[in-house]
Amino acid sequence: MLNVCVIGCGRAGMIHARSYAGAVTGARLAALCDPDEEARTRAGAELGVGRLYASWEDALADDDIDAVVVVTPTGLHRDIVVAAAAAGKHVFCEKPMASSEAECDEMIDACAAAGVKLQLGFMRRFDESLQHAHEAVLAGEIGDVVLVKSLTHGPSKPKEWMFDVRKSYGPIGEVSSHDFDELRWFAGSEVASVYAIGGNFRSPEVAEAWPEWYDSFAMTLSFADGKLGMVDGAQYVQYGYDARLEVLGTKGSILVGRQPRESYAIARADGTVVRPMNNSWSYLFREAYVREAQAFADCIAADTEPLVTGHDGKMAVRLVQMGLTSLLEKRVVFDSEVSGA
């Protein structure tokens, strides 16, 4: 039985904690860690976990812990993951992987040197519909892939700290990291160049204080093998959470995702039709999170490579940085500028 400690008891951390509290075969939630006493106490009470830590250093010192799930602010990821590897703990790390590619490399190297697994939190790869679509692409059902398009619209109002895009990256990082991972996954190739444009359409009141803030962007990408990519990202759309994918091939196309939350609709006497909308990523991908957790436990038990590796996390960080540079500098950004290729 794999003993897991979830580090970070916020909204995303609790999604992972609930999975390990009973939904994952071969693993169990053994401990929780959060510097906020109220958060960790509430989490422990909900999930029936008595082993609670205020500091991640104390959690890593627990010899009974076999693996950690890191769901902290991004700036802490590097230190926790490197220390966890040194302590012999397997690591699941939420996206974004780190604040820079250099930190990603340190995390990858530390886990490799310690012989522990490192899996990144791109849960969409574990969504059943997306997995079926990926299998269809590999089977050649739509011919050769020509274009991969991904869309993510988030409903939440941006928090104050997000307006400084030099630190938060804005929606390119906060909303669309998953889109970049999807594009690489379905294209089977690395990105060669990106071009992004964006604007602030929903928060005009912050435009003077934060002139670089944008809540919507459109990006075109080219891949090293010639494939094309497009990403449509937006924050504070207010109508609900929206995530869709289209893969265009030489002999067909694949569409994944829909806007309505449920399959039923209400037809009203005034001629309108109402369907409930997805309100959260946590609802849309609720099953994918459990499958993701199971995959982490399985790759440790079988000593196999995680489906989502440290390299995948690093490439997502690279694309976020390339995208923001393109948007702010209003130019095409090439991979060779940041990779040294």
For the chain of 341 residues, list the mean pLDDT of each consecutive stretch of 10: 97 96 96 97 97 98 98 96 98 95 97 98 96 97 98 94 93 94 98 98 97 98 98 95 96 89 82 84 89 98 97 97 97 87 45
Confidence (pLDDT) at 264: 80
| Residue 225 and residue 139 share a domain | yes
| Residue 129 and residue 111 share a domain | no
Is there a domain that residue 303 lies in? no
Burial letters for 185-217: b for 16+ Cβ neighbours within 10 Å, e otherwise? Answer: bbbebbbbbbbbebebeebeeeeeebeebbbbb
Confidence (pLDDT) at 67: 98
Confidence (pLDDT) at 127: 95
Answer for the pair 35, 44: CB distance below 8 angstroms, yes or no: no
Is there a domain that residue 292 lies in? no
| Residue 137 and residue 253 share a domain | yes
- Domain final position from 98, 116, 134: 116
- Domain final position from 116, 148, 175: 116
- Domain final position from 116, 140, 160: 116
Between the alpha carbon of residue 238 and those of residues 155, 276, 279, 280, 300, the distances in Å are 4, 14, 9, 11, 40
| Residue 230 and residue 182 share a domain | yes
| Residue 132 and residue 82 share a domain | no
Domain range holding 65? 2-116
| Residue 70 and residue 151 share a domain | no
Answer for the pair 191, 335: CB distance below 8 angstroms, yes or no: yes
| Residue 95 and residue 154 share a domain | no
| Residue 38 and residue 9 share a domain | yes
| Residue 254 and residue 161 share a domain | yes
| Residue 323 and residue 239 share a domain | yes
Give me the CATH number covering residue 81: 3.40.50.720
Answer for the pair 34, 40: CB distance below 8 angstroms, yes or no: yes
What's the number of domains the chain is made of? 2
| Residue 324 and residue 199 share a domain | yes
Helix 128-138 with 177-187: angle, nearest 10 deg: 30
Confidence (pLDDT) at 242: 94
Is there a domain that residue 110 lies in? yes
| Residue 108 and residue 66 share a domain | yes
Q: What is the SS3 assignment for 14?
A: helix
Confidence (pLDDT) at 341: 45
- Whether pTM exceeds 0.85: yes
